[in-house]
Amino acid sequence: MKKKDYINLLPKEEKKPGEGRDRTAVVIAALVAFVWVGAYGAQVLQAWDLKKRLASVTSTKEELLKDFRALHQELGLSMPAGVSQEKAALISSLLGERVLWSEVFKEFSRIVPKGLWFDGLEGRAGDRAEIRIKGGARTYLPVAEFMLAIEKSGYFDKPELLYAQKTVVQGQDMIGFEIICGIRKGGRQQ
């Protein structure tokens, strides 16, 4: 063999600058894409969960508004035209915190027995709404009937007979009494 056959005249292959860096950049880009897809997927799952919760809360709200409308109709109350359900619910809750004195007096007119009269009514609507009733009767029976009616009524809370005392007025026997009781805000409770 000749010496010429073994001589390589082609230049030696050298590594090109940046050839290893290209592979690293591809791997990093793939990792970034993988992390981005994972984060996006987590956000999508969270959005689905929030949609489910919103649907549940919305259905609960609709059920409560339906119950509110039914209760409103049962009580015979009417909502003014143009009032949204949310505003009506707010108005109702605010009214629930007030004492409707006209309703209290209507209730008195229903439960006061014959032979009993009032000398004075004093109402207070603070943290605990209450009414103080002073009056009279010819016997103890109407006073007892009135106390029983107050206890059975849904408007009044924890009635207390402060006194029932026999006195003589203009030559006739009469029973003077004083009752104090709480008033349930918002009216009748069953």
- Find where tokens 């649907």 sit: 55
- Are 103 and 165 part of one and the same domain? yes
- Are 103 and 164 part of one and the same domain? yes
CATH number, domain at 179?
3.30.70.2830
* Per-residue tokens: 109: 């007119």
- Are 54 and 81 part of one and the same domain? yes
CA angle 151, 153, 154 (to 5 degrees): 115
Each residue's pLDDT tens digit, 108-126: 889 999 999 999 988 887 6
Tell whether 9 is covered by a domain. Answer: no
Burial of 164 (0-12, 13-18, 19+ CB in 10 A): middle
Tell whether 5 is covered by a domain. Answer: no
Total domains in the fold of the chain:
2
- Are 28 and 47 part of one and the same domain? yes
- Are 109 and 168 part of one and the same domain? yes
Each residue's pLDDT tens digit, 49-64: 999 999 998 888 888 8
H-assigned helices in the chain: 19-74, 85-96, 101-111, 140-152
Residue pLDDT tens, the chain, 190 long: 555 566 666 666 665 555 567 788 888 999 999 999 999 999 999 999 999 999 998 888 888 888 877 777 776 666 555 566 677 666 666 555 567 777 888 888 899 999 999 999 888 876 778 899 999 999 999 999 999 999 998 788 889 999 999 988 888 889 999 999 988 765 555 4
Tell whether 124 is covered by a domain. Answer: yes
Tell whether 153 is covered by a domain. Answer: yes
Domain assignment of residue 147, given as a range: 98-183
- Are 92 and 110 part of one and the same domain? no
Indicate the residue among 80, 96, 112 that finishes a domain. 96
- Find where tokens 């107050």 sit: 150
